[in-house]
């Protein structure tokens, strides 16, 4: 069964600290994995996309990793800011592109 699981469900950190969010998937055949940031009451916005051959990709303070063998991805946020408070959603697409599988998200709260 194609599934995407994210952990933790929610996370509270202090401003300036680092954090890592996890995404495990069983989707096959794998095409790519994308991390989205969703502010409260808004649509998700893409942060990074990773294909099978990519291990690491950065976007500013966001760094995503992918281990296609273990089917795991992580999103590392460095020097967190208050504006990082949002839900982070992991999305995996299958090879024929018409299907996208979503994790339930990690809700991050950055406190001053």
Partner 1 sequence: SQTIHQWPATLVQPVGSPLSLECTVEGTSNPNLYWYRQAAGRGLQLLFYSVGIGQISSEVPQNLSASRPQDRQFILSSKKLLLSDSGFYLCAWRRGRGSSGANVLTFGAGSRLTVL
Query: Any contact of residue 27 with partner 1 (CB under 8 A)?
Result: no
The whole-angstrom separation of Cα 26 and Cα 92 is: 9
Query: Any contact of residue 102 with partner 1 (CB under 8 A)?
Result: yes
Structure tokens at 13: 């950190």
Q: What is the DSSP letter of 32?
A: E
Q: How many CB atoms lie within 10 A of CB 4?
A: 21
The whole-angstrom separation of Cα 73 and Cα 33 is: 8
- Reference 36, options 14, 59, 56; nearest CA is 59
Which x/- pattern, by CB under 8 A, does the window 45-74 give for partner 1?
xx--x-------------------------
Query: Any contact of residue 12 with partner 1 (CB under 8 A)?
Result: no
**CB of 71: closest distance to partner 1 in angstroms?**
17
* Residue of 19, 103, 106, 110 that binds partner 1 (CB under 8 A): 103
The residues that touch partner 1, with contacts defined as CB under 8 A, are 4, 31-32, 34, 36, 41-46, 49, 89, 91, 93, 96-98, 100, 102-105, 107
């Amino acid at each position: 069964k194609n599934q995407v699981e994210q952990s933790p469900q929610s996370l509270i950190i202090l401003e300036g600290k680092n954090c890592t969010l996890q995404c495990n998937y069983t989707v096959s055949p794998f095409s790519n994995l994308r991390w989205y940031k969703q502010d409260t009451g808004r649509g998700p916005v893409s942060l990074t996309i990773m294909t099978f051959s990519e291990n690491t990709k950065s976007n500013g303070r966001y760094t995503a990793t992918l281990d296609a063998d273990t089917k795991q991805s992580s999103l590392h946020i460095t020097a967190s800011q208050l504006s990082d408070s949002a839900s982070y959603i992991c999305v995996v697409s299958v090879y024929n592109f018409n299907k996208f599988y979503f994790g339930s998200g990690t809700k991050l709260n950055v406190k001053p």
